[in-house]
Amino acid sequence: MADTRRRVKLYMLNEDRQWDDRGTGHVSSAYVERLRGISLLVRSETDGSILLESKIQQDTAYQKQQETLIVWSEADNYDLALSFQEKAGCDEIWEKICQVQGKDPSVDITQDVVEESEDERFDDMPDAAPPIELPPCETSKLEEIAELFSSVLPSPIRREKLAVAIEAESYIRKLVDLFHMCEDLENIDGLHHLYEIFKSIFLLNKNALFEIMFSDDIIFDIIGILEYDPTLSTPTKHREYLRNTAKFKEVVPMTNSELETKIHQTYRVQYIQDVILPTPSVFEENMLSSLSSFIFFNKVEIVSMIQDDVKFLTTLFAQLTGEETDDNHRRDLVLFLKEFCTFSQTLQQPNRESFYKTLSNLGILSSIEIILGLDDERMKLAAIDIFSYIVEFSPSMVREFILHESISVDDEDLLINLVIEQMINDTDPELGGAVQLIGILRLLLDPENMLATASKTEKSEFLSFFYKHSMHVLTAPLFANTADNKPSRDDYQSAQLLGLILELLTFCVEHHTYHIKNYIITKDVLRRVLVLLKSRHAFLVLCE
């Protein structure tokens, strides 16, 4: 069995500053003749191919983050990260990197990060950027601290040195103690200065500082500090909202305390990024990339931990489909599953494939079918969101399920027909849900994404099935509304729904040829469609 300590996922930062998953494998360090030095090697666990061959350069700044992550840059805009399955493996490779560079393994970064332009500017001035001396952490010094922190932001060298000083002197926790004092004494000026100080700390963009601020014992204090934005007339009650309104519901008991802590932390950090922190200016927009990466890797870890927890997932699905489960609890389970699937969007091949296979084996599509058969709109909407994620990832997996169940399930209970019924009965005045569902149906009916290896079989089987068992459900509103010489209902919502159905029928005409031609002729569809020319809604007339 392969050593799990050395099992890693390799990530590369793309042009949009998002982390792309480049595969899972096992990492080792060895001398590579071609590179003339000790190098990091990652071999794919699927086929043994080399995913990474990277020489450990003397001047490269490697960073260790969150105990299982090593991040570095190899060239301009070419950032790499190794995410380890186990802390022991991360420590082992980190020690090797430090040994090659002659560094103490207790550090979290092996080099001072300095931009080239700054290097050149200070080449002949060795003392131009001395260590930053922090003022005493006292209430009377808060304005001075805020000004110092703000003044270093334009300089990469000074940002780095300030971050080192803050971490070395446990300055964040000292500032949190001052926050408690200022809040108890209602010292508004002091609280405003603390807000500015912590806004600057965020803009230092240092993972090591984020790990301190987001630790379980002080994250609420950090959120409290960020309530006192000087530009607002009254503080925003973020802590009250997170404690009382946004309560975490443990839908299935979690035996993994690390997973639960990670979920809490990720939700709160995402809230800080999305709700509390002001929209970054052009100057600041790349100065929060480490915050985005922190959230991204947390989500990857959460999905992996849940996916590996067989007992948790088995219990979740058993309760989701169990007859004795009450509606409120079932709704919580569906919403949790939707959030879980949303997190999975951070994964890429082959991890997303493994994720959806896990859900498929647990009966995710049968569960969606059961939920769509219930009389609960909120649950149905969440189920449709989950269904859309699955269809977008693998239409063939969904088609296979639909074909298989058609052998033993009545037409009205088929998953695809329940989806069509949900579309037809959308209560949204703008038919937002129906528009989403039309997109899903289009993906399922598109021959272009049917498996290349069995395209003829999948295409002929699924389209034959659809026209026999489901097309009549899709066109039912069209036939119901055109029984006479003019539309029986011509309100805006009915016209909008008919417009969507005509749009999908047009797609079928363009892509299905034989099946749709046969259907149009035998069901006299053209005559029915021409009745809609008498609609008072121009957009519906133009759909024809």
| 0.75 surpassed by pTM | no
Per-residue pLDDT tens digits for 125-159 = 334 456 788 999 999 999 999 999 998 888 878 88
Averaged over 256-268, what is the pLDDT? Answer: 88
Averaged over 169-177, what is the pLDDT? Answer: 95
**Which residue is it, tokens 């952490």?**
137
Per-residue pLDDT tens digits for 353-386 = 888 888 999 999 999 999 988 888 889 999 999 9
Q: Residue 63: its pLDDT value, please? A: 87
Per-residue pLDDT tens digits for 120-134 = 433 333 344 567 889
Highest mean pLDDT range out of 100-109, 407-416, 468-477? 468-477
Residue 293 has pLDDT above 90, yes or no: no
For 8, counting Cβ atoms within 10 Å of its Cβ (0-12 exposed, 13-18 middle, 19+ buried), the class is buried
For residues 63 and 286, what is the distance between their CA atoms, to the nearest angstrom? 18
Highest mean pLDDT range out of 186-195, 368-377, 410-419? 186-195
CA 163, 166, 168, 173 torsion-angle sign? negative
Neighbours of 316 (CB within 10 A): 20
For residues 83 and 81, what is the distance between their CA atoms, to the nearest angstrom? 6
Contacts of 37 (CB under 8 A, 6+ apart): 31, 55, 56, 57, 100
For 465, counting Cβ atoms within 10 Å of its Cβ (0-12 exposed, 13-18 middle, 19+ buried), the class is middle
In angstroms, what CA-CA distances link 513 with 241, 376, 517, 519? 56, 38, 6, 10
Q: Residue 77: its pLDDT value, please? A: 58
State the DSSP string of 424-455: HT---TT-HHHHHHHHHHHHHH-GGGS-GGGH
Please report, to the nearest 10 degrees, the dihedral formed by the alpha carbons of residues 361, 365, 370, 373 taken in order: -170
Q: Residue 179: its pLDDT value, please? A: 96
Mean pLDDT of all residues belonging to the chain: 85
